[in-house]
Structure 1
């Protein structure tokens, strides 16, 4: 009997997920492209969670109640045991590292993970404060922060009061508390806002202002470019703040492998950094990873190469960009019409769920 499987690719399931949800997607995407080691992928079987490796082998048995996952090659993961009120951290190879109190800590980034605790104020009231544990589960940075975020490129943005600054992995304040809004570092730069309601600019890892604040919104750098928003339109800048493409798009994705999916005047297409239309005829498109990107011309998704040709034909109900060796895809069971989510490798073979649990004939996709 087919086991229904749903994959929710959350970066964390900890109690302070509102902080983690604000982590920059582009920074995570950059990390995903640095294929430096093993990688694990979350699976769900009959309401329980575990992890497989890039070949589809079950490395952490799907017997747990929840999980935490960064999506980074070589990154750690954790699984939750609600009965024991613990979460167990594993290396990317599947070796157990340490255990921690359930939902009091998040995913390790740069060998540091956020944790939350209750502290008592001078007036007797209690407040939540954030600190960091190391890769052994030991406190490395004391919980003194009213807000805190994951490390990225060796720095994490934190708040003691209303203003935000950046600390290093030793807990040293390296960029002072002076910003109303901050983002994670990506490719050596982070977008910041000095005053509430102000414009966005970019600083480097020393805190030096590299791009003068002048954008209504600014996203992390990816592939040497950043999407910025000005007067209701999106454009792209380089690391000096010069326009690669002036604001003209109603939708703009980050550049990946030299291409970006955009919309202008109701028409969607891929462009290069000169703004030339390189791939046309698609109603939906995603990021290129290793030469492949999910794309759709209508009702179904497939994977195209950088020439715009389908390498894996359009047949999926939904498809995500590749993360390492695997991509999340969604099919409809031809018999029940229920949605089946799983993982596919770059050859078009479904590596999870196992072939024995798939509908007849659904094993290889070309």
Structure 2
């Protein structure tokens, strides 16, 4: 009997979410965010088998058996992961090689970034009342930064955005305040810069890791830098700026993804295509496209997905029900069981071989690229 398989992407609870809010969820999804990494260190990938969770490595080998009740991982090269044991009310942290690091109280701590993970604690306030505050533990599960923050987010490029009150600033991994509490909105750092607003509903600009304002707030919305460019939103359209704030491509798109390996997938006047940093169309004919990672990007000409190279040619034919960007050696894909609506989610390597689930568990008739 076919085992129902599924994958969990970035497992975060609302408490430990590091998402960047924009003018609307649709705008944030359209603009996208995040740095592109073509080559990665050792990495683990989450799997689900019959409702239990574990991890495989980039070769498809099971490193942590799928016997746990939940999981969490950063998706970053060399990143740690954790699994949840609900009966024991604990979560166990592992290195990317599968070595157990430490255990922690269930769902009281998040994913490790820059060797720091958010955790929560109940603290007593001056008036005697108690409140939840945020701090950080290290890669051994020890308290690295005391739980004093009203709001806090994951570390990125050695800095984390935190709130003592309503205003947001940035601390380093030792808990030292590097950028003072002066911003209404802050984003994670990417390529040495972060998007900020000074007032609620104000314009977006960019600071460096010292807090110096490099780009004066003048955008309706702004995203992290990727490939030396950032997507900005002005008067209902998306465009791209460089690190001086000058337009690489003036706002003209209804959807714009980050640049990855010199290309970005956009939509204008109902048509979707890839552009270069001069704004020229270089790849056309696709209804959907993703980020290039190591020379490959998921793309769909219509009903099915495959993977294209930077010339727009399919390296993996469009016969997948769904496909994600590569993370290191593998990309998450979805296949359909013939004559059913059941989905099988797994992983594919760069040669187009499905490394998970094992071939023996794929039913007859399923496309095996």
Whether these two folds match at TM > 0.5 is yes
- Taking the aligned partners of 1:298 and 1:356, their CA distance within structure 2 comes to 30
Query: Do 1:272 and 1:278's aligned partners in 2 also have CA atoms closer than 8 Å?
Result: yes
Query: Do 2:52 and 2:69's aligned partners in 1 also have CA atoms closer than 8 Å?
Result: yes
Out of 332, 336, 341, the residue aligned to residue 328 of structure 1 is 332
Out of 147, 155, 176, the residue aligned to residue 159 of structure 2 is 155
CA drift of 1:10 comes to: 2.1
SS at the partner of 2:5?
coil
Q: Deviations over 1:187-225 (max 9, x none)?
A: 000000011111000000011001110000000000110
- Taking the aligned partners of 1:192 and 1:335, their CA distance within structure 2 comes to 50
The alignment status of 1:174 with 2:178, answered yes or no, reads: yes
Corresponding position of 1:183: 187
The alignment status of 1:65 with 2:69, answered yes or no, reads: yes
CA drift of 1:122 comes to: 2.2
- Cα RMSD (Å): 1.7
- Taking the aligned partners of 1:324 and 1:143, their CA distance within structure 2 comes to 34
The alignment status of 1:20 with 2:18, answered yes or no, reads: yes
Out of 138, 145, 151, the residue aligned to residue 142 of structure 2 is 138
Corresponding position of 2:25: none
SS at the partner of 2:216?
strand
- Taking the aligned partners of 2:350 and 2:88, their CA distance within structure 1 comes to 38
Q: Deviations over 1:298-325 (max 9, x none)?
A: 1111111111111100011111011111
Out of 47, 55, 58, the residue aligned to residue 54 of structure 1 is 58
The alignment status of 1:240 with 2:240, answered yes or no, reads: no
- Taking the aligned partners of 2:52 and 2:5, their CA distance within structure 1 comes to 10
SS at the partner of 1:356?
helix
CA drift of 1:125 comes to: 2.1
Q: Which has the higher contact order (CA 8 A, sep 6+)?
A: 2
SS at the partner of 1:33?
coil
Out of 339, 357, 365, the residue aligned to residue 361 of structure 2 is 357
Out of 281, 305, 308, the residue aligned to residue 309 of structure 2 is 305
CA drift of 1:11 comes to: 3.9
TM-score (normalizing by structure 2): 0.95
Equivalent residue runs for 1:223-302 within 5 Å: 223-302=227-306
CA drift of 1:22 comes to: 3.9
TM-score (normalizing by structure 1): 0.95
CA drift of 1:361 comes to: 5.4
Q: Which runs of 5+ in 1 are unaligned?
A: none
Corresponding position of 1:204: 208
Corresponding position of 2:221: 217
Q: Deviations over 1:311-345 (max 9, x none)?
A: 10001111101111101111111143411110011
- Taking the aligned partners of 1:8 and 1:183, their CA distance within structure 2 comes to 24
Corresponding position of 2:345: 341
- Taking the aligned partners of 1:76 and 1:357, their CA distance within structure 2 comes to 28
Q: Deviations over 1:96-142 (max 9, x none)?
A: 00000000000111111000011122223221100000011000100
Corresponding position of 2:4: 4
Query: Do 1:12 and 1:70's aligned partners in 2 also have CA atoms closer than 8 Å?
Result: no
Query: Do 2:54 and 2:66's aligned partners in 1 also have CA atoms closer than 8 Å?
Result: yes
Query: Do 1:27 and 1:184's aligned partners in 2 also have CA atoms closer than 8 Å?
Result: no
Q: Which runs of 5+ in 2 are unaligned?
A: 22-27
Q: Deviations over 1:265-290 (max 9, x none)?
A: 11100000000000011111000011
Out of 115, 119, 122, the residue aligned to residue 123 of structure 2 is 119
Corresponding position of 2:44: 40
CA drift of 1:16 comes to: 1.0
Query: Do 1:132 and 1:141's aligned partners in 2 also have CA atoms closer than 8 Å?
Result: yes
Greater shift in the superposed pair: 238-247 or 117-126? 117-126
Query: Do 2:11 and 2:71's aligned partners in 1 also have CA atoms closer than 8 Å?
Result: no
SS at the partner of 1:16?
coil
